[in-house]
Structure 1
Amino acid sequence: MRIAFYAPLKSPDAPTPSGDRRMARLLMAALRAGGHEVFLASRLRSRDGEGDPERQAHLVRLGARFADKFVERCESGRIPTPDIWFSYHLYYKAPDLIGPAVARRLGIPYVVAEASNAPKRAGGPWADSHRRILDALGQAALVIGFNSRDKPCVAPCLGPGGTYLQIKPFLDRLPYPVDPSAGPALRAELGISAGEPLLLAVGMMRPGVKIDSYRILAEALSRVPAERRWALIIAGDGAGRPEVEACFAPHRVRVHLLGAVDAARLRFLYQAADILAWPSINEAYGMALLEAQASGLPVVAGDVGGVPDIVSDGATGLLSPEGDSVAFAENLDRLLLDMDLARTLGAAGREQANRSHSLESIAGQLTVALQALPC
């Protein structure tokens, strides 16, 4: 099949790394692995983060203009008509302003991956965008979810004949290698003694929920008994870095802020660390959590969103209520006191990632679902 792919929140070729960009790229790769021809249909970013009606109206006009041009190019034969329109990640701040119109006018199935429904936005500055999300879900022939907690709110919005498919977040190039020399190498690089477990946190430093996660992590570390040995490695950067530095000021000698790192460096950090620690405030599911498990790291995280779809509490990691720094500290301390348990959880997480979260396994599920669509 020829598939037109679109990500209204962030294009898969956007310059700034993020989990959203990563998943868009992985979806395109999975579709191609299933034998489909996939092309990026548009780079229009429909996000309005401020609830600005003028900006929303401008974006609606841009979307309609692009849809008109795309349909005209297909109908004139200048480009082949796609068999499917596939949009990734719809929510009230970034609705799909192109796909529903194109799919309807060309008579092709409209497919959505990762959509959210926020009924509290039915009124207020994003009311029009919220309505567009509901209209898109009502038109969709197939909605694909990564977060099992989204299904009760999203699935009832599907129209007659619409299908909901639950899949797991996934990674490519599994299995990840394990390098026993990475830990000693990182300790030597940063001047960390061999007896100190290495905690790793991975997250952009932007205002909002990311900074909230860093704040909870810092609070939790303050609650871990002072005699406990640990060092924290932080991979990430952004406008909120001064706030992050202030949060960890009481632990300055134990915390190493590495800034933004590339994929190879991040892979090395996963191999070197002993525990991935991330409170996951308002996390959809957390690609870093999955990458850590694929690298054999036990995960200490918040029980929120789709995190339990990745981290099996008590089997591959330890989960605590969202925002509960006391419970988070207790889980951290449990692993710091029992590194054998940490290694057992890490090994189970690696096995689970390789078994259930590979691109190849998801590619097959997507192909079966797409082939069942009426064309």
Structure 2
Amino acid sequence: MNIRFYVACALFFPLFLFSSCDWGGSEDEMVTPNLRALHAHEQEMVFASSRFALDLFQQLQKKDDPNQFYSPYSIHQALSMAMNGNEGEVLEEFNNVLRFEGMSLEEANEAAESLTKFLLELDPKVRLSIANAIWYKQEFEANPNFEATVRNSFKAEVAGLDMANPQSVDVINNWIENNTEGLIKDMLDAIPSTAVMYLVNAIYFKADWKYRFNSANTHKAPFYVTPQQVVEVEMMSMNESAPMRNYTTEGLEYLEIPYSTGHYNMGVITGTDLDTKLQDFSFEDLENWREQAFEANLILHMPKFKMRYKMEELKEDLMAMGLEKPFNPSPVNFTQLFANPTESMYISRVIHDALIEVDEWGSEAAAATIVEVDLTSAGPNQPRIFALDKPFVFFIQDNHSGAILFMGKLGNPALL
């Protein structure tokens, strides 16, 4: 990725003032984003988390769900914490699936800390929080090195928990609810007697569009699930054209819809026969599209929608991606979690829950990931209409670093 390219885009994009567009705030309210060039290890973390995001996207496309939404960043963070409890061949498997090629464990931890800090501080007008917590069975003693690492690199809260107490479920659920602004509730159903640790990530995002939609323009309109199947949606429409980065290739269109100061955006990929054309879509493809996209004046029409998507058995997908050893009980699993000897351990569940709401003002999104560890026992300069009236993939990303925070697919709004 050309870092200079992203820095230039990030620096100059806010300078294009369109008087005909409804800005997300007055000129007096505009703030300066905290831009700087990414350090090499931060860029490596962007590559790792984004490649993992696209790997997971391809795996989840094998499901029949027409609508999906999740946070690959959240899943990556939770698994990265779990990675620190391992060594040897198990650590290597985590390393490969999380795409930390060429990075040591220490380098990956340092990069996770640094990139998260950068994303949290980037845009003062965007509400973003990323939080981590770990609970372990209070009868056990956490490995001091593991505890120090997750506290320092992931800013994780670490605490013992009486897992035999039925109210312990509420402790974890309440933490998730508090760290997702109440959007993710009652995520964990029960704590099995064999559970010894929960590694949890929560992420929350809220931002106004840079160019807002006029709610008076929102109306019922057709959405083409297929050329033959049409459903009705609440379609939002802009009054005037606005500058947005756009790229077209082989029947697909890529669009960046900016939030706030323009340093976060909703990336969109749409086109006919979308699932087939994206079968081999990779991070390298996305990088190329970002670099080749150029500014076009567009009058955007897009659906207003709210989606919740929960995956109770994400472990099946992760195993298909190559993370197998941690899910099978073995004495070589999680040898660095506890100071005291234990029976063989394994990941029994990976649960992910996510929600997004898109309206005329902007987007609000939240997600949480639970890792449960158990014991055995381009467009023209003239304005044109860009209508998202057929299935599309979308993701919330940082324009400066390229980090992908959330991903989803809207295939059939009638099923929401």
Using the size of structure 1 for normalisation, the TM-score is 0.26
Greater RCO (Cα-Cα under 8 Å, separation 6 or more): 2
Structure with the higher fraction of residues in strand conformation: 2
TM-score between both structures, scaled by the size of structure 2: 0.24
Whose helix proportion is higher, 1 or 2? 1
